[in-house]
Amino acid sequence: MAFWGVEVKSGRPFIHNYDDSKGRLHISMATLGFGNATTRSTLQCNVGNSSPVYLCSLYPGTTESLQLNLELEEVDQVVFTVIGARSIHLCGYYLGRTSRTAIFHGDSSESYGEDIADTENERSDFSDEDDLDDSFIDDDPNPEVFPPSPISNGGTFNVHPS
């Protein structure tokens, strides 16, 4: 993984192009830039020729940062634009090559974990029948009786002398 960050300024779109050597981009945070404007700033995203999608709106003094969970692996350009007076800072990280790109490049190994069907099974020495006396169900014919709760239905405390 490698850190990634950019400031998207109002009126100056930022274009992200996929780089196979870095892999998928995970964007995890959007933070409002410094400034005097008191109106909201909205971050929008265009992928290729598709319609824009609003990712977040940030408000000075109330919502100045927002956690995101976006992953980009688009072949087309991804264009980020800010609508509003203040910039928006984005940060995240590159995930590296994914299994999709690895398979495309002839690497058939899976990068997301181990297939449990290929692991060796070990037999446990513990048996469920070893300690039947330690059952979680209490079969005692004389169960313990607890006094009534000191809190009434109205939420007030009632103290009962013992």
- Residue-level pLDDT at 109: 45
More confident residue, 70 or 97: 70
β-bridge mates for residue 27, sequence order: 70, 92
Most confident of 50-54, 102-106, 113-117: 50-54
Q: Considering only CA atoms, which of 70, 74, 68, 55 is closest in space to residue 17?
A: 74
2-95 has which fold? Jelly Rolls (2.60.120)
Average pLDDT along the chain? 79
More confident residue, 109 or 72: 72
Tell me the CA end-to-end span of the chain in Å, nearest whole number: 64
The answer to whether 56 and 66 have CB atoms below 8 angstroms apart is yes
Q: Report d(CA 65, CA 90) in Å as an integer.
A: 10
Report pLDDT digits (tens) over 34-86: 999 999 999 999 998 899 999 999 999 999 999 999 999 988 899 999 999 99
Break the chain into its structural domains and give their ranges: 2-95
